[in-house]
Chain A
């Protein structure tokens, strides 16, 4: 359904006297993956590694994007405005912050209806019915329609945001850390909602997160990002049972399990993610990798196929 090929997003930082001057921040630096209908791809990585940027680029929100994004066979990045508008109906984005993603000045009902108006869907009554239907779908009721966003809790807002995204009947939704800001109990509610909707509406998700246990729970396939590159990608079970990249391993072992009896090893990885403005040479992870050798510092590893659905970019062959 979605195919991403060698996607690059380089932001220009700072302005020089001359137009071409300035540094480039390589937020996303050549990543490729694909998602099938009804599938969920999880995207994990440390803060600042380019997850959100990837999400945005796929939706055609960043003019800095280079490479190819094919959605149902259509080239997104080179598309004209009008074409983009129709594609927008099929692709949606749900943000992390349930407090910031609703216009505080619009009543919920109006916010939902507006989307329908913009896409010229139905007449007044039909729209009204649709809005109510949407609210029901996400477990809210129509009394809520005449309220303003601030009258809702975080969990409820996230439901509204989901309802708004669903209004245009999308086929594909990017969830950018959609549950990270929520409490565990609310988080599980939203995860369940998203899963239910996926089943009911046959949705496809790109699920961005940094909590591996949540991503794992949610996704069919997981891609691990580090400094703008995908270092490993596999089916989620496979990735957890059989991580090949040292970074994936480090991430996995940093996840703390809610079990006091396990003696959890806290000393998994040293140092911090380097600045994407000045990424390390060679394998970008070599500065923190305990296996790193001279080669890692010089040569960028190619993505290898471990098996049909498992890819890794590392010079070592870890088992």
Chain B
């Protein structure tokens, strides 16, 4: 769109600050996907900023009648960073390796529905399924499905993932100084960008530097000083000072995330729906959004974030629970807790959870619930949840579709990840009904039912939907917001 008046500076590196380093750039071996992977690897299927699927490395695909066979036609003349040609063998190898239990890849289960991959010819392959799997495109578009050069992977051995990462993406791994920065340089041969992008040829930015700056205040200072151009995942604490800075623009958009307060629903007093509803009424979400998140979040009414458009149940707000201290007290009294309750409130040890917990503590006190806050570092936190020691606890999930409800709330996931310990026949039935329908429309409907029921049962207290905010300095032109990972070859350039 921007037929520019501004000059493009290809030599200027784009510096992005991250709070932590990648563990490894071998995405087969981790689920901790670093943004760098997005630029180094291409997927068969590409997804635009509105979650629509487009051709990626596959220029087109076909589905058989019964939906059990998918045929993908690869683009020709695609080369890996090491110069070798992309073939269907590489694709097959990548997915097979992930699927192989020996590999112990965390993504193994995501490709479970794939029965077999058949290489038809160098540029054609078929994916055979056991049963219809409408989510296949989503899987194939995820970072986990980035296509690796088989030869390079085998050649690099142990050094793959730390020294080398060979894909077909618009950027190549130039240097990785552990703990300090990852430097990506432009892939000069790149010609196969997805059609939907503004620029699908060579990248316009010569180098991307991903700098690790764990300290939040340092990231801000660096941004203000102009040493860093983009800071992602802005936390509300960071907003205050940069909002006033004219050189910095903040892009905000919804994110497929949702923060909630949960509790073990199989234990006293949470097994009483009245108590659960009381908790829902007790929380002043507006206050939390305004002050803890400084406006950079939205109130969550239901169990899915509205960004998931069709899957999101529109009636959430109407059916949900409004802030009403009196009602909460009343309900507690009815449940037999008129004299108040003393509970633990657990959260993960990261800045916002702590603050949120403190505010919740104050709000819950209003309805007579006294809480002790206990913060955990992440490993201990999951462990505690697995062991079932939780009382009240704060969580946030991020997922791009309604499968997440199955994941957290169906009884086959008990006790973990079903950490609210919700074992309910009706929920199970509803979810199963929604999952096993052939069409998207029916699925959406089914999930609406699930959401409605969950709201009624007050299984969680949904609290907020954080915005995804990205601070971008003015040197970065034509920046486009993307809730998951911005595409820097989508016409973005440095001034």
**Are A and B close enough to touch in the complex, i.e. CB under 8 Å?**
no
